[in-house]
Amino acid sequence: MSEFDLINQFFKATAVKRDDVILGIGDDCAILSPPPGKQLAVSTDTLISGVHFPQSTTAEDIGYKSLAVNLSDLAAMGAEPAWVSLAISLPQANDAWLKKFMCGFNELAKQYNLSLIGGDTTQGHLSVTINITGFIDSEKALKRSSAKVGDSIFVTGNIGDAAIGLKAVFNRLDTTGDFSEKNKHHCINRLNRPSPRVNAGRLLSDFSVAAIDVSDGLMADLNHICEASGVGALLSLQQIPLSDAALNYYNNKPDWQSVLSGGDDYELCFTCADNQYAEIQALMELNDIDITCIGKVIEDAGIKCLYGNQLITLNPSGYNHFK
């Protein structure tokens, strides 16, 4: 199949249609019509085989995850997803592979009414670069720099499952618990199919709070909020929300370093003032989103971790490509 047949069949024909896409795939540029009064939130993420996903990952999961991690960036700003472009480099034009890749990709694109408006298709090592655009009302973006001393720190969902999933994929599970196949599957699924917290981010955009998505590890990402806001954080390890699967894996004695620096969680971490909490909690509950308070914003720079009243020393670094 030629490059152009491939573009028509797998990208153009399957793209979600939106009225604000004046001209989609097929010309030199896409022409887009943003809603009057809205600002655009734009982000790019690359996923490279063997770096961002194990080489054994299925085409469907790669398609899903590539879009999920980009949607997670929009979620962290509180934006409404609208348009996406896809630059893909493939070792060969493999129809069956692309069909499955787009099946995973389109599962999320349809869920979020996200239109594929263009891209680039090249031959080379497998890598996927996505550029995503969303809408946001002016002054409503969830910036990393908005945390204030005295705020509480929250996360959505559970932390640490994907790090266990990664160990499972590489047969490096090391557990004293009776780790069931069901729990193992749960963790691998969290690694390959993260659920971007778009809804949570949009709900938070009505409050002026700081937020980030947890991609490189909770400590490293929370540290980005702290640095941008000129504050520090005091985390209470006992409050970090773990799934039943993670508790089973760690036999109720979590390896905090792994939980807090494992990455690939794609949950949101946000800070909010005490007088915002009740309203945020009520909204999240109404939308079936679990949030957990895990600590406080403090004046001293850096992140301190307490277990009870014992100070635990952990390495704050998360994943870093150039270490």
Contact residues: Mg ion, CB under 5 A: 120
The rounded distance, in Å, linking the Cα atoms of 291 and 281 is: 7
Decide whether 24 or 263 has the Cβ nearer to ligand ADP: 24
User: Of Mg ion, ligand ADP, none, which one sits near residue 7, judging by CB under 5 to 8 A according to partner kind?
Assistant: ligand ADP
The rounded distance, in Å, linking the Cα atoms of 205 and 208 is: 7
Element housing 74 (H / E): helix 59-77
Phi, psi of 110 (to 5 degrees): -65, -45
Report the nearest approach of ligand ADP to the CB of residue 109 (Å): 11
Decide whether 28 or 274 has the Cβ nearer to ligand ADP: 28
Cα–Cα nearest to 223, from 317, 322, 321, 159: 317
Report the nearest approach of Mg ion to the CB of residue 120 (Å): 4
What would the two tokens of residue 252 be? 């109720």
Decide whether 120 or 244 has the Cβ nearer to Mg ion: 120
The rounded distance, in Å, linking the Cα atoms of 170 and 19 is: 44
Decide whether 63 or 295 has the Cβ nearer to ligand ADP: 63
Phi, psi of 155 (to 5 degrees): -130, 150
User: Of ligand ADP, Mg ion, none, which one sits near residue 178, judging by CB under 5 to 8 A according to partner kind?
Assistant: none
User: Of Mg ion, ligand ADP, none, which one sits near residue 28, judging by CB under 5 to 8 A according to partner kind?
Assistant: ligand ADP
Report the nearest approach of Mg ion to the CB of residue 90 (Å): 14
Residues 6 or more apart whose CB falls under 8 angstroms from that of 147 comprise: 210, 225, 226, 228, 229, 231, 271, 297
Report the nearest approach of ligand ADP to the CB of residue 319 (Å): 26
User: Of Mg ion, ligand ADP, none, which one sits near residue 153, judging by CB under 5 to 8 A according to partner kind?
Assistant: none
Report the nearest approach of Mg ion to the CB of residue 118 (Å): 9
Decide whether 57 or 106 has the Cβ nearer to ligand ADP: 106
Would you tell me which residues interact with ligand ADP (CB under 6 A)?
7, 11, 25-28, 86, 88, 116, 118-121
Cα–Cα nearest to 40, from 100, 102, 82, 103: 82
Report the nearest approach of ligand ADP to the CB of residue 88 (Å): 5
Report the nearest approach of Mg ion to the CB of residue 85 (Å): 11
User: Of ligand ADP, Mg ion, none, which one sits near residue 89, judging by CB under 5 to 8 A according to partner kind?
Assistant: none
Please give the angle made by the CA atoms of 115, 116 and 119, to the nearest 5 degrees. 155
The rounded distance, in Å, linking the Cα atoms of 158 and 265 is: 8
The rounded distance, in Å, linking the Cα atoms of 207 and 16 is: 31
Decide whether 85 or 156 has the Cβ nearer to Mg ion: 85
User: Of ligand ADP, Mg ion, none, which one sits near residue 88, judging by CB under 5 to 8 A according to partner kind?
Assistant: ligand ADP
Strands (E), the chain: 21-23, 31-32, 38-48, 80-90, 115-123, 127-137, 152-156, 210-213, 232-236, 268-272, 291-298, 302-307, 310-312
Decide whether 1 or 301 has the Cβ nearer to ligand ADP: 1
